[in-house]
Structure 1
């Protein structure tokens, strides 16, 4: 199988590329990435000489480039997205451009130049909004709370619309919060590890009681692979590990693993529209595709902390003012 992976130099995309190339010796991957702030070619340093791997620098909004690449492949896995909620509050248009118009460009290219291509669109649990009790199923309505999640919801609707109108063989995955190696340092878990390793305060929004379900990135990669190979057209698959933790619990766990004192924790002004709790029901992918997460949070977070502490070469060049000196959401980036 030959894949076009968009956004493959990012956190989840790069882990997915490495995962499928290691598992499938007869697969090939074209990685299309514009190398924005969340992308890093060092994520795939170990496979860049693999003859089955090709990197193309480019934007998913470049219709001519996307069309040329889509003609060559059997499947598209779309990771390309602006994904940092705080940044979406400061600059919503960049999220509309990537997460809506970029998805449209990919779908149009598929419709016109490779209508038989398999199309897997990677989305997020944030499109559902928050939920105090219970868990969202794939049939629940979408109630996004930020420009980021609204743009992702719009992209999802385009995928479903093209699948029905033009018979594009498309599926959507919606995952909970990922963590693991190669995650951009502005995100909660790597930022906590990095700042704690430097003896700096670890900022937590509000009271830290916001709840997320944490999914180890390699478990997510395996779920995407199953959807790619066995998922049904026009179906949505929730992907979660059932590992719900408050942000405060996550930070405390990391500090304990690192032997750091909790006095490093610093509560800061909450951001607007901050969802209280995310929770997904993943019974559908477990029942239909026989997927199960293999890593507990206890195991996954230990592996993640160890990876960051052992790979300063990777994150030190990426540590910038937003990591060392975080500013309130209301200030422009």
Structure 2
């Protein structure tokens, strides 16, 4: 089986590349990414390429002739001001669709979207019930619409990662762990939220299972990626604190509101601060995702939350 992973230098992509490179007897895999891999051993399998470059993308696909594709490459930050800022999620996806269609060996493609096609806390009535609150979310609606409107000759599915954490992660959950390690994290009064989070090893398991599931189980369907049982931010923080031997204390919500406004002010001057109003709202808004469809296809998550915390702290200690 010949697999292309776009965005294999990113957070989920790095973990996915690590999984398939450990199984090279079964898979021939390459990573298409504009950025260098995070792991030195991944570099021989890296093709430096911007998916917005239609000519070069078509050439790599033609030369490698993949049977399977996992598309992760995207701009994912929230700082863009127009949809054009996210042309990797629009033009890039359009180019990818064309490149895949021209490969006769293609059997299945997984297109990664985002849960932010709906604002936090919104419960969509159906798969195409979109309600984004960010330009990034709008760009991922564009991604999904392109895929759904294309007449594709191969099996495909759309993936929406939830709040994913674990080795090789960045903001915001790397900050969450760093603050807990430095004893600078505080519970938000009595306003802890409950969300669908996901440890990255479980997400890799879900992607791999979906990628090789039977056609009737996955074709033209939507799957959220994450752990099946939602958990509160307070419980999670306490478990990380317990693993570190640190007790997590509470601050009044009013104090954190002040800190968030301070962060907003500093952000206007390009100064990074661990708390902003956007982050505070995110940390106090419930966002529970219905995971039944994914659980039906991939029922047995390999890593518990406590095991994930231990793995993550071990990775941080060496990075």
Please classify the TM superposition score into its range, dividing by the shorter chain length. 0.7 to 0.9
Q: Deviations over 1:153-198 (max 9, x none)?
A: 2211111111xx24343211122211111112x222x213334444
- Unaligned residue ranges in structure 1 (runs of 5+): 313-333
**Per-residue deviation at 1:245?**
3.0
Q: Report the Cα distance in structure 2 between the residues aligned to 1:13 and 1:171, rounded to whole angstroms.
A: 17
Alpha carbons of structure 1 residues 203 and 121: separation in structure 2 relative to 1, 3 Å: farther
Q: In the alignment, is the contact (CA less than 8 A) between 1:125 and 1:174 conserved in 2?
A: yes
Match of 2:271 in 1: none
Alpha carbons of structure 1 residues 129 and 192: separation in structure 2 relative to 1, 3 Å: closer
**Per-residue deviation at 1:249?**
4.0
Q: Report the Cα distance in structure 2 between the residues aligned to 1:291 and 1:4, rounded to whole angstroms.
A: 25
Match of 2:6 in 1: 6
Instruction: Note the aligned Cα RMSD (angstroms).
Output: 3.0
Query: Aligned with 1:98: secondary structure?
Result: coil
2:165 aligned residue (159, 164, 179) = 179
User: Does 2:278 correspond to 1:271?
Assistant: yes
Q: Deviations over 1:88-125 (max 9, x none)?
A: 24544565212222111111222345584521112222
2:177 aligned residue (175, 190, 193) = 193
- Unaligned residue ranges in structure 2 (runs of 5+): 261-276
Q: In the alignment, is the contact (CA less than 8 A) between 1:127 and 1:150 conserved in 2?
A: yes
Alpha carbons of structure 1 residues 245 and 263: separation in structure 2 relative to 1, 3 Å: same
Alpha carbons of structure 1 residues 2 and 104: separation in structure 2 relative to 1, 3 Å: same
Q: Deviations over 1:122-162 (max 9, x none)?
A: 22222233337xx6686361212222222112211111111
User: Does 2:26 correspond to 1:26?
Assistant: yes
Q: Report the Cα distance in structure 2 between the residues aligned to 1:305 and 1:251, rounded to whole angstroms.
A: 13
Question: Aligned ranges for residues 59-138 of structure 1 at < 5 Å?
Answer: 59-71=50-62, 72=64, 73-84=66-77, 88-93=78-83, 96-114=86-104, 116-131=106-121
TM-score (norm 1): 0.76
Match of 2:312 in 1: 304
Q: Deviations over 1:210-258 (max 9, x none)?
A: 4321111111111111221125332212233233234444334323322
Q: Which has the higher contact order (CA 8 A, sep 6+)?
A: 1
